[in-house]
Structure formats: structure tokens, C-alpha cells
Structure 1
Amino acid sequence: MGYIVDFSKWQNRVNYEELSKVCDLAILRVQDGSYVKDGLYEQHAKGCSQFAIPYGVYAFARFTSVKDAEKEAQDFYERANRVKQPLFYVVDVEVESMSDMRAGTNAFIRTLRNLGAKKVGIYIAHHLYHTFCLDLTKADFIWIPRYHLDGKTILKPKFPCDLHQYTERGRIKGIEGYVDLNRLNGKKKLAWFIAE
């Protein structure tokens, strides 16, 4: 099996042809809140499309209210689909940007589904899993980061998830520098993530 990688503007030197030989799935960042578009998203999406690398997308959540979450989700969906429709959409919940993160995340997901998103995931910071108390039943899959300090040893998440981001210091052919690497961790197979 090849790699599952997620990347953004911070990975600005990507050889997509080389990456396609070792990557089974890419997850690309579209935005950091509504106001910060990832400057390399469209380039990454086009590169992945050209070399048949299946990809989904994520948005780092910064919403401050339910209304703001709905707007963020709408911006995310529109930006994500500018190249082609991605395989799935993920709301990345890592910071407490409003008092009720559960309500904001639910609004974000509801808006994505109303716009036509078929597969939606939640990325939840490991250390905030209990604090945020998100309604994970609203999502189709859960993605959790948990790293060891050495960047190599795999620390299993303490909570159930379908994808485990196990290092932010990965190395992979086709991407210069460090990159986040992920592994399947639940019952869902790769085929589920890459099915259109």
C-alpha cells in the first residue's frame, strides 16, 4: 500500500508525477478560515488530477458563530470545487474559536451536505477530543492526529477513528521537506475513501 498524505502551501515543492508513484491518497488544504485561502490549493489539485492521485480536501475551522460556520463551509465548498469535485470534505477542528464548537461544527457539516457534499469528515485534535465533545455521528469518518516526539514511532490514538495522522515529519518521494503522513485505523478501507 502507498502513502496517505495531507499537504498545503507549506509543501511548495511537489513533483506530482513522482508523488503519484507512491501516494494512494492526498488530502489538500483549501483554506484557513474564510479569509485565508491556501495559495497552492489549486496548483496541488491540478497536479493531483493530472497524475491521477485521488484527493479529498480540508478546511481549518476558525468560525466564531453558527452563522460564521455556515459561511466558512460555503466558501470551502466553492473553493474546493474550482478544479474538480474532490472525493470528500473535512472540517479541521483544532482551535476553540467559539464557545460551542459542537454547534459550529454541526452547522459547518450541515451546510456542506446542503451544498451537495456526499462524504464529510471531522479532523479533531487529539487533546481536545473530550473538551469539544463534537457530535461525531454527523460525519462519515473521523480523522485524528497523534504523534510521537521522535516523528517516527507510531502512537495509536486513544479514541476511535478511521484515519490516524501519525507524523508531521514524514518524508515521501515527490515532496521536498517534511509532510504529514496518515494511516487507515478503522474499518473503512482505502477503496471507501477513493470511491466517487
Structure 2
Amino acid sequence: MNIMRKHLNPVGAVLTFILLVSFAMLLIVLNINNVNQKPFLVANQAVIKVDRTDGIDIEKPIIDISGWQLPSEMDYDEISKQVNGVIVRVQHGLSMKNENSAAYKNGKDKAMDTHIQEFQKRNVPVAVYAYIDGSSETEMRKEAQKFYERASKYNPTYWWLDVEEVTMKKNFNAGIEAFRDELEKLGAKNIGIYTQDWFITDNNLDVKPFSAVWMAHYGGDTGFWNSSPDTTIHYVLHQYTSHGMLNGFEHNLDMNRVTNVADYNLIFNHGQLVK
């Protein structure tokens, strides 16, 4: 069936042309405004550098969390108001004998993505850590590769190696350095080590290759800071309790402290002081 098309008269044609041009201009304006908007951080965006040099309250804790702190039990809005930063576990080695509540059998922390995304959305600076579990230099490098693969998309402010046990029978320092070196080659800029003063001494641990040391020393582990590491090694971050409490989470938290704003900015501003 042939249907005749209705032809526009000259006035109608002009009006239609004006409407089309106006609509096109509106689309262009809306698109420009959308591009210029700055949304909350998402996984593939760079972390906003945080200028906390003016009036930062260094009495606020920095917490480190993992899959043992279930996202479903965390009020991220409330917790974000009470902390200066968060350090999130990415993995426990490359493999585990058995999957548990906090990590998959391949070692990846079950809550890492959620923890990082939720705090970054609230403009809380996030660093990351990996528990070191390699039994050879080759395994150490593989762990570093997986650590980088899993966390680099979030552009963390600092990369921490969690060294709590000797996992190599020989040349443990060489193994740790292999992990650090591989991570640096992959593109990580700020790499620190988490350990304890007694562990450094007992195992002749070499911390000099790292750009920062994060020291665990609990004292009475009362939930409050009441003791500092007895060491001549310079550390920028002190984990002082595993029994910290915050509004928005009903269980214990690891809490950490810095002693000055310069150390804070070293950890949470990509290693550079904000000017």
C-alpha cells in the first residue's frame, strides 16, 4: 500500500529547522556539562591527592582492614568520618590450603574490592598491603606480580609488604627484595614494609631498600596508644593496637598512628608533600 507523505509548507519547514538546531545545541551543552562534572572516585580513576597540611587531626586513627572485617557489617559513612586513612589487604600469598571467610584459595582477599571502592568513594585515602608468603625468589616475584595486578587499578597511595614470618629457609632478605624489586619494576612508586622491631632484630631483616617502615608494637593492646617501639629504626606509621573500636563497626579494629603531618602526607599523598 502506498502512503502519501505530508509535505511541509514553507513556514512549517522553517519552524522545524529552528527546533532541530535548538535541540542539537541543547545536547551539546548537556554533554559538555557532563564531561566537566567530577564524580566520586571509581576503580579506574586516580586517587585525589589529599591536602591535610592545614589542621589535620593526627589523633584520628588510620585503620588497616581485610576480609575479616565484613563489608556487610561496616557503616562506611560513619567510619569514614573517624579516620585519616585506610590500608586494605589485597592478598595472603598466592595460594592457601583452604579457603576461609576472608580469602579465596588463590590468596585474594574477599573484601578488598569493596573496601577500597567504598572508602575511595568517600574521599578517604587508601593504601594497600600484601601478606608475604613466598618460599623462593621466584615465588616472591610472582606474588608481587599478582599484588600489582589486583591493586594497581585503584591507584593506591602506598604499597606495603606485610612481613611477619620467615617463609624462606635461605636468603630471606633476598626474597623480600625480589618482591620489592618486582613491584617497583611493574610501576609501584611508594613501597614500604610492615613488621615488628623484634622480628627485624631476630632475623637480621634489611629494611633499608624500602621507602618507609610501618612498625607493629601493641604494648598492653588496650585499644589505645600506650607504648611505642623501642628501636632506632625510623618508622612513619605505628600499629599500636588490635583492639580499637569505632562507631559504625561492632568488632575490634587494628589502629595506627602517625606522629606528624609530614609522615601522614608521605603515606597518603603519593609520597609527596602538598604545597
Choose the corresponding residue for 1:149, options 204, 217, 220. 220
Kindly state the Cα deviation for residue 131 of structure 1 after the two structures are TM-superposed: 2.3
d(CA) in 2 for partners of 1:129, 1:136: 8
Once the two structures are superposed, residues 74-116 of structure 1 have per-residue CA deviations (whole angstroms, 9 ceiling, x without a partner) of 111111124x111110110001111222111111110110001
Paired position in structure 2 for 1:9: 67
The answer to whether 1:96 aligns with 2:166 is yes
Number of aligned positions between the proteins: 195
Paired position in structure 2 for 1:139: 210
Gaps of 5+ in 1: none
SS in 2 for 1:76: helix
Paired position in structure 1 for 2:254: 180
SS in 1 for 2:84: strand
Paired position in structure 1 for 2:194: 123
Say if 1:34 and 1:76, in contact at 8 Å, map to a contact too. no
SS in 1 for 2:208: helix
Paired position in structure 1 for 2:244: 170
The answer to whether 1:68 aligns with 2:108 is no
Say if 2:64 and 2:253, in contact at 8 Å, map to a contact too. yes
Gaps of 5+ in 2: 1-56, 96-106, 271-275
Kindly state the Cα deviation for residue 153 of structure 1 after the two structures are TM-superposed: 5.0
Greater Cα offset, 147-156 or 51-60: 147-156
Choose the corresponding residue for 1:23, options 83, 88, 98. 83
Kindly state the Cα deviation for residue 54 of structure 1 after the two structures are TM-superposed: 0.3
Kindly state the Cα deviation for residue 187 of structure 1 after the two structures are TM-superposed: 8.4
d(CA) in 1 for partners of 2:156, 2:241: 24
Letter in 1 for 2:227: L
Paired position in structure 2 for 1:40: 111
Say if 1:170 and 1:180, in contact at 8 Å, map to a contact too. yes
TM-score of the superposed pair, with normalisation by structure 1: 0.93
Say if 1:162 and 1:187, in contact at 8 Å, map to a contact too. no
The answer to whether 1:54 aligns with 2:92 is no
**Which of the pair is proportionally richer in strand?**
1
The answer to whether 1:109 aligns with 2:192 is no
d(CA) in 1 for partners of 2:172, 2:236: 21
- Change in CA separation of 1:186 and 1:103 when aligned onto 2, cut-off 3 Å: farther
- Change in CA separation of 1:109 and 1:186 when aligned onto 2, cut-off 3 Å: farther
d(CA) in 1 for partners of 2:245, 2:140: 34
TM-score of the superposed pair, with normalisation by structure 2: 0.67
Say if 1:88 and 1:120, in contact at 8 Å, map to a contact too. yes
Letter in 1 for 2:229: P
Letter in 1 for 2:172: M
Letter in 1 for 2:65: F
Greater Cα offset, 25-34 or 145-154: 145-154
d(CA) in 1 for partners of 2:193, 2:221: 26
Say if 1:163 and 1:186, in contact at 8 Å, map to a contact too. no
Once the two structures are superposed, residues 152-193 of structure 1 have per-residue CA deviations (whole angstroms, 9 ceiling, x without a partner) of 352210223111100000012233310000111578421222
Kindly state the Cα deviation for residue 68 of structure 1 after the two structures are TM-superposed: 0.6
Greater Cα offset, 111-120 or 169-178: 169-178
